[in-house]
Amino acid sequence: MAGLGSWSLSVAALIALLLPGSREECGRINLPTPTVHLGDPLTASCIISPNCSHLGPETQIVWKVGRESQPGKRQQRLEDGSQEFTVTIPRLSSPRVLLSCYLRWGHSLQMLDQAEVQAGYPPAAPHNLSCLMNLTTNSLICQWEPGPNSHLPTNFTLKSFKSRGNCQTQEDSILDCVPSDGQNHCSIPRRHLQLYQNMGIWVQAENALGTTKSPQLCLVPMDVVKLEPPTLWALPPSPEAAPPQPGCLLLRWEPWKPSLYIEQKCELRHQPRLGEASWDLVGPLLSQTLQYELCGLLPSTAYALQMRCTRWPLPGQWSDWSPSLTLTTAQRAPIVRLDTWWQQRQLDPRTADMQLFWKPTPLDRYSGQIQGYLVRPAGPAGASPPLCNTTELSCTFRLPSEAREVVLVAYNTAGTSHPTPVVFLESRGPPLAGLHTMAQDPHRLWVGWEPPSPRPQGYVIEWGLGPPSPSGSNKTWKMEHNGSISGTLLQENIRPFQLYEITVTPLYQDSVGPSRHIYAYSQEMAPSRAPELHLKHIGKTWARLEWVPLPSELGKSPLTHYTVFWTSSARGQSFSTVLNASSHGLVLHGLEPASLYHVLLRATSKAGATNSTSLTLMTLALEESELHVLLGLFGFLLLFICLCGAARLCCRPSRKNPLWPSVPDPAHSSLGSWVPSIMVEETFQLPSLRDTGMPPITKITVLEEEEKKPGPWESNDSSGTCGLPTLVQAYVLQGDPRACSTQTQPQSGTSDQVLYGKVLGSPTSPGPGHYLRCDSTQPLLGGLTPSPKFYENLWFQTSPLGTPEPLVPNQEDDCVFGPLLDFPLLQGLQVHGVEGLGGI
């Protein structure tokens, strides 16, 4: 029940906080001042009234400056039972600060009060105070500059007083003048003024942090009177007066009517409308004259004129400048040089049709504007009517064949230019030695020539559109007066992709030279079309293409090369080749039979490229007989590869069990590296049995009987196969049988030695030698072939008496005897170093 009562008390307190009017009774913010100096600290307090004392002694207050929380300083209970919570803001950095006091209620905040604090600076003293007496509004208008912003509402007041001295003493106060908000000027009406009495005037600025005032201004209202500007007018020419001279203007002005009784002086300024020229000031001009002749100006030039006036000789303020008046000075006669050129066409023996061209070149910057041109016959002016009076730059007229000269002048309202004589010279001078052109860019052409001898005085260059344009239409020309130059740049009326005919004529003192022509482009175009492709011949894997080169076109850049593209429709592969511009055919190789191809020809020049129409072709298909031949060749090639692979597989030395017996070759065994230790002195040959084509025997072991012990055979311990009563000596035969050497090698000590055969012989035995064949199963040279069978070697040898004489082998081993020459591999045997073996 106690907990329920506490909860009821808290709810009641919250309702009391939320009820209207309860916030003021519960808490309020107390500020020492609502306005502080910007940057100064601020201390504020939030006082909780006794009405909120039931909230308990552990009440928590939260301060916020704007949206940021600010920690409180201290808490104390006042005498009336209220609680005071204090906060100090160390520095106010904003002109407007909203300070809030909150009560922490559970997990939320309840606002008790808010207060706005303003921060700023004291007002700065106004400056640049000035006043003008306006006779139009009949008031004294003063204006000033307020100074830097103080961030606080500031009130300005224009204060003044009347004084008879130098404003040191104040006689009568004048009603303050308060300007409208945001304005820095104020007007004192005429009823508060004494026009010819001194006044002291100043401006006072005031805000919440202080008051300042401007320096005092002491003046007489009529001394600062500002007149309105006069009105300028052009003085019309008078029939009695002479017209103004070139460079002069006549003008008048009318003063402002309220200032007619005031003596004034004025200033006049003028500025030419050409470019950004500055103003030139003329004055002072007294108001009694009211008109003025301004000279020293440029002829035929428009000028802007303005005037202002002030009170004089008494003090006063200058009026504003009057609105501008624009006048143009009189023209001068044209001061120009007229360059002339002509074309003559003989109509009949007595009359010639002349076409005269001219170009004006101003000789003076301020030459008068030309209004027309006059062509008259040579002689005194006015003696004969003019031939032409035109505003154009050309004229066509007829002359008698004997007339050789006319006169050309330019004129305007101010007069005529100096006469320019035009003499129609005969064409009998030397021609130019050469003429050439070069394009600088699409709108400029350089034309050059080789000056003739003697050197001309000048040149006339004409250019215009060439064929098919009509001759002489819209031609442009210019004259070069320097006869030593060898070229000029044409920049007028030049367009790209146009053919121009250029004519250069040399000018001599009393004649002209023959004209030379040349055609040129400032920029050429790409070819308009490419040659058409034609299929001349086609095969199964090739195709011959031809085209007819197109003739050169005017305005088209010459071709530099051709490019042929072809694409396979089946595989989508593309190929190309580049040919020179003189080519007119191509053979495509490497095509696939019965395939579709698209071929394209591109013609390229320096100006661009153009493609021809696409040509589609189909290669021929292979015939049935050709298919059979190709299949047969392919099968034969496959069979050959299989045979080679099988042979290589079966003949590899590393195979342990070949498909057929492998007969060892002693010449390529390890025995072939043995060399006899004793050089032989005699060579035995068997002419009847020797075969030069057979390879030499690698190793032969000869058993020789001792001279003093002709007993029975004894076994040789070193051989390890047969016990024989003879001395065994090894012979190694290598290379040429006629130039071989022998060396004795040990009979044992090598693990891979295999005994193949032994030759038995005795120098004292009358019979032929015998061999001893060991039927050992040990493989020879690493092979697995056993000893030969009985039909491969002879087991019996016929004795000299014709009876078979068997050789008795040793029964303890498998060695057999036989004649020496019956062994097949001994047919090329040569025995060295053994005496008495002639019976072998």
pLDDT tens-digit readout, 62-115: 888 888 887 877 677 777 777 888 888 888 888 888 888 888 877 888 888 888
Q: Mean pLDDT per 10-residue run, the chain (840 residues)?
A: 36 42 65 86 84 64 84 75 83 86 82 88 89 85 89 89 82 85 87 85 90 89 87 80 78 82 87 82 81 86 90 85 90 89 85 90 83 89 84 90 89 88 88 88 90 90 82 80 91 87 91 89 83 90 91 79 91 90 90 90 88 89 73 87 86 58 58 48 42 46 44 41 39 39 40 47 48 48 49 44 44 46 50 44
Burial grade of 183 (CB within 10 A; 0-12, 13-18, 19 or more)? exposed
Residue 830 to residue 840: CA distance in whole angstroms = 10
Structure tokens given for 15 = 């309702």
- Residue 152 · residue 118 · CB < 8 Å: yes
Look at residues 264, 173, 276 and name the one whose alpha carbon lies nearest to residue 226: 264
Q: How many CA atoms lie within 13 A of 708 on its CB side?
A: 0
Rounded to whole angstroms, the Cα distance separating 193 from 137 reads: 13
Between CA 609 and CA 616, with CA 614 as vertex, the angle to 5 degrees is 150
pLDDT tens, residue by residue, 550-571? 887 777 778 889 999 999 988 8
Rounded Cα distance between 559 and 604, Å, is 6
Q: Where are the alpha helices (DSSP H) in 63-154?
A: none
Tokens of 537: 């011949």
Cis? peptide before 146, omega within 30° of 0: no
Q: Tell me the CA distances in angstroms from 669 to 372, 447, 623, one per residue in order.
A: 124, 94, 57
Both tokens of residue 376? 């008259």
Strand segments (E) across 452-595: 458-465, 476-480, 487-490, 499-507, 511-512, 516-521, 533-538, 542-547, 559-568, 574-580, 585-589
